[in-house]
Amino acid sequence: MRESNASAIDERDVLDAIARAFEQGSVSVISGAGVSTDSGIPDYRGLGSRQRQTITIDDFLGSRRARAHYWLRAHRGWSRFANALPNQGHRVLADLEQAGMLTGLVTQNVDGLHRLAGNRHVIELHGSLGNVVCVSCGQQFSRTDIHSAMVDANPWLNDLSPDFDIDLETNDSISSLTGSLSIPDCSVCAGVLKPDVVFFGESVPVRTYSAARETISRSKTLLVVGSSLAVNSAVRLVQTARKSRIPVFIVNRGKTHLDHVATGKVNLGASEVLSQLAASLEVSAVLEDIE
């Protein structure tokens, strides 16, 4: 009993400390999947889904069949992504940036919702599912255009049942589907197209990682929101901050891999905590939302 009271008080102190840091400005944020769950997005790897077989970059580049399987599975996932909207947590982060309190946002999410909410200084550590890139010539394409091209080339995609993504894992007829799927190539060089996200087996591009590190190094405080810090690149960014003696606060429902190095931890959901922060900082747009 005493312990739980102590921890509740600790969390209020941590929330106050985070609010004070924002008041002083120069806070950088690392956001993770927990920020997007209230927008109905489980995890970006959810497109290929964690529970299922995971495709690596070598599989994807090495076999047409693996690519067809990926695009088929991602086809349904994309519809969910394309319709997702920013939630309260995203909007608070956008308001904090507009109020000059947030200097940079590094996200592990690939859903593009921070930009959609209005954040301008966003570094997408793992890329964006909204973009498609040619692995041969580097030409970029919009995912929406590639999605349409795929439907045009495979009209039967419109007739797939709502349980299609489950069927994919269990139904033997999937072989014939992947066999007959026409997947778009690069219109410039006919090279292989790939969603512009970091696949398993790939590293965060050096330039992206450096930009993230620089953003965090320039800030006075780092706030991690909605990430369990299970991915190496994010872990290294937090460790870099700690080495530079930058205070690190973590807001995440559940344990993270770096709770032990955090200056303070709040074990609550991202939207809930960000809304409380917005209220105590009197960030106006959000207050209107709460009312």
Residues that bind Zn ion (CB under 5 A): 134, 136-137, 139, 186, 188-189, 191
Residue that is written with structure tokens 């489980």 in the block: 42
Shortest distance in whole angstroms from residue 187 CB to Zn ion: 8
Nearer to Zn ion, 136 or 263 (CB): 136
Nearer to Zn ion, 118 or 191 (CB): 191
Shortest distance in whole angstroms from residue 50 CB to Zn ion: 31
In angstroms, rounded to a whole number, what is the distance separating the alpha carbons of residues 172 and 51? 19
121 counts as catalytic: no
Shortest distance in whole angstroms from residue 136 CB to Zn ion: 5
Are 106 and 28 spatial neighbours (Cβ–Cβ below 8 Å)?
Answer: yes
Active site residue: 69, 90, 114, 126, which one? Answer: 126
Nearer to Zn ion, 157 or 193 (CB): 193
In angstroms, rounded to a whole number, what is the distance separating the alpha carbons of residues 62 and 117? 37
Q: Which of 127, 122, 86 is nearest to 274 (CA)?
A: 86
Burial class (CB in 10 A: 0-12, 13-18, 19+), 84: middle
Shortest distance in whole angstroms from residue 190 CB to Zn ion: 7
In angstroms, rounded to a whole number, what is the distance separating the alpha carbons of residues 216 and 106? 9
Tokens describing residue 177: 């589907």
**Sign of the alpha-carbon dihedral angle for 184, 188, 192, 193:** negative
Element (H, E) at 287: helix 284-290
Are 129 and 111 spatial neighbours (Cβ–Cβ below 8 Å)?
Answer: yes
Nearer to Zn ion, 184 or 264 (CB): 184
Nearer to Zn ion, 8 or 137 (CB): 137
Ranges of beta strands (E only) in the chain are 27-31, 102-107, 122-124, 127-134, 140-142, 193-197, 221-225, 248-251, 264-266
Shortest distance in whole angstroms from residue 186 CB to Zn ion: 3
Known catalytic residues?
A: 126
